[in-house]
Amino acid sequence: MALPMRWLVALCLLLASAGATVAQEARIAAVVNSEVITDDDVNARLTMEMRSSGIPDTPENRKRLGSRVLHQLIDEKLELQEAKRIGVSAPTAEVDRALARLEERNHMPKGGLDKYLAQIGVSRATLVDQITAAIAWEHVVSNQLSADVTVSDQEVQAAMDRLKADVGKPESRVAEIFLAIDNPSQAPEVEQLATRLIDQIRAGANFLAVAQQFSQSPSAAVGGDIGWVTPSELSPLLGEAIQKMEPGQMSYPIHTPAGYYILYLMQRQTLGQTSPDEIHLSMVEVVFPLSPTATPEERQRVTAQAQSVADTAKSCTDMAKLGAQRAPQLSRQLPDIKAGDLPPDERQQVLALKLDQASKPMPLRGGIGVAMVCQRQSPPSLPTTEELRSSLGHQRLDALARRYMSNLRRGAYIDIRNQG
pTM: 0.60
pLDDT (0 to 100) of residue 312: 94
Of 128, 124, 130, 127, the residue nearest 75 (C-alpha): 130
Q: Where are the domains of the chain?
A: 5-144, 168-273, 276-377
Torsion from C-alpha of 398, 400, 406, 409, nearest 10 degrees:
-90
Instruction: Give yes or no on whether 5-144 and 168-273 have one common fold.
Output: no
- Specify the pLDDT at position 250: 95
The CATH fold assigned to 276-377 is Chitinase A; domain 3 (3.10.50)
Q: What is the CATH number of domain 5-144?
A: 1.10.4030.10
Give, in order, the Cα–Cα distances in Å from 109 to each of 104, 114, 404: 7, 10, 38
User: What's the distance, CA 15 to chain centroid?
Assistant: 48
DSSP symbols for 397-414: HHHHHHHHHHHHHHHS-E
225 has which bridge partners? Answer: 175
pLDDT beneath 50: ranges in the chain = 1-24, 26
- For residue 107, what pLDDT is reported? 64
Coil, strand or helix at 50: helix
254 within 8 A of 265, measured Cβ to Cβ: no
Q: Residue 317, Cβ neighbours under 10 Å: how many?
A: 12
Residue at 61: amino acid letter: N
In degrees, rounded to 5, the angle at the alpha carbon of residue 417 between the alpha carbons of residues 413 and 420 is: 120
The dihedral formed by the CA atoms of 243, 247, 252 and 255, expressed in degrees to the nearest 10: 50
**Single-letter amino acid, residue 106:** N
Which of helix, strand or coil describes residue 91? Answer: coil
DSSP string covering 350-362, please? HHTPPTT-B---E
For domain 168-273, give the fold: Chitinase A; domain 3 (3.10.50)
**35-38 β-sheet, strand order:** 35-38, 28-32, 414-416
Q: What's the pLDDT score for residue 128? A: 94
- What is the Cα 66 distance to its own chain's centre? 28
Contacts of 67 (CB under 8 A, 6+ apart): 189, 419, 420
3-state secondary structure of 319: helix
For residue 57, what are the CA distances in angstroms to 49, 60, 106, 120, 312?
A: 9, 8, 22, 11, 76
d(CA 138, CA 141): 5
Is 195:187 a contact under the CB 8 Å cutoff? no
In residues, how long is the chain?
A: 420
Contact in structure between 166 and 413 (CB atoms under 8 Å): no
Q: What percent of the chain has pLDDT over 70?
A: 91
- 137, 83 in Cβ contact below 8 A? yes
